[in-house]
Amino acid sequence: MKQWILIPALALALALLSGCATSPTGRSQLLLVSPEQAISASAEAYVETLKPLEKEGKVDSDPKTLGRVQLITGKIISQAIQAYPETKDWKWSVKVIDEPENINAWCMAGGKMAIYTGLLNEVDPTDDELAQVMAHEVAHALSNHTAEKMSVALASQIGLIGVAIAADDSKYRQLAMTGAALAATYAIQMPNSRTAETEADRIGIELAAKAGYNPDAAVSLWHKMQKASGGGPPEFLSTHPAPSNRIKALGELAPQVRPYYQENTPRPIYRFK
């Protein structure tokens, strides 16, 4: 039985050693899934995610709102491409999803983005504040956070296979592959996810400033987000930093990137196809 346990454990160790990478901020990342694989998978997931929503008429239903989101996001993307030239070939996309109850936005690998009307309506962000939202999401893609999360899930699966194989009881094996999978994903992924959120805040506020948006809006945005979410969940149970901690950190970052915002230079706009 020990031999059966050691085989997947050794596979996991070798995978961890061969899957080390560094994020744009210098943080060590586990990337068992390559950025290219994550981009390919995200392109497919993006289509599948939007398909039922498009059938219900919930995607880009308001041209005025879409135009606003694309203009702001286009300025952010132009700065992202300047800083990360390899992203110029990404098929960037942003969609507005009409779900009034959903206060959220996201960006998959390869620049596949969406924002929900719940955030636009409930938070009612200014253009500067909306730029902070979209820049934060773009930063997730630039930092390979999708590939990182996929890699964490893969690492969890490798370890759980060893438990399942070693178990003689079929009920125990089933438990290992369900409850243990959830527990392992929660235990491993949550700290990395909080780190990824902080990393995206740091990169995002700089991108927004370079695109011509006031970095102080990052603070006012999260005051609004805190109010809209009723204060938010406790930090130790959330993938996001607590709003109060986030506001403090962003307030310290704002003066550092303000010179970018104050530059009297053209702010190019990426044109969506």
Residue pLDDT, tens place only, 105-124: 988 889 999 999 999 999 99
| Strand-pair category, 93-97 with 105-108 | unpaired
CA 271 to chain CA centroid, nearest Å: 22
Answering whether pTM is above 0.85, one says no
97, β-bridge pairs: 59, 116
The whole-angstrom separation of Cα 211 and Cα 147 is: 26
Q: How far apart are CA 132 and CA 208, in angstroms?
A: 6
The DSSP-derived string for 151-205 is HHHHHHHHHHHHHHHH---HHHHHHHHTHHHHHHHHHHHHHHHHHHHHHHHHHHH
* Residues designated as active site: 137
Burial of 54 per CB tally in 10 Å (0-12, 13-18, 19+)? middle
* Residues across the chain: 273
Instruction: Give the 3-state secondary structure percentages of the chain, helix then strand then coil, rounded to 5.
Output: 65, 10, 25
Q: Tell me if 202 sits within 8 A of 25, measured CB to CB.
A: yes
Which pLDDT belongs to residue 53?
97
In the prediction, which pLDDT does 247 show? 93
The predicted structure's pLDDT at residue 102: 92
Place of tokens 């206060």: 103
Q: What is the pLDDT of residue 154?
A: 67
Give residue-wise pLDDT tens across range 220-245: 999 999 888 776 655 444 556 777 88
Q: Which residue, among 148, 150, 190, 188, has the nearest Cα to 25 in the 3D structure? A: 148
* pLDDT reported for residue 228: 87
Q: Cα–Cα distance between 224 and 91 in angstroms, integer?
A: 31
Per-residue model confidence as pLDDT tens for the chain (273 residues): 444 444 444 444 444 444 567 777 777 776 777 788 888 888 888 998 999 999 999 999 999 999 999 999 999 999 999 999 999 999 999 999 999 999 989 888 899 999 999 999 999 999 999 999 999 999 999 988 777 777 776 666 555 445 444 544 444 444 444 433 333 233 333 434 678 889 999 999 999 999 999 999 999 999 999 888 776 655 444 556 777 888 999 999 999 999 999 999 999 999 998
CA distance 155 to 223: 36
Q: State the Cα–Cα distance between residues 196 and 191, nearest whole angstrom.
A: 9
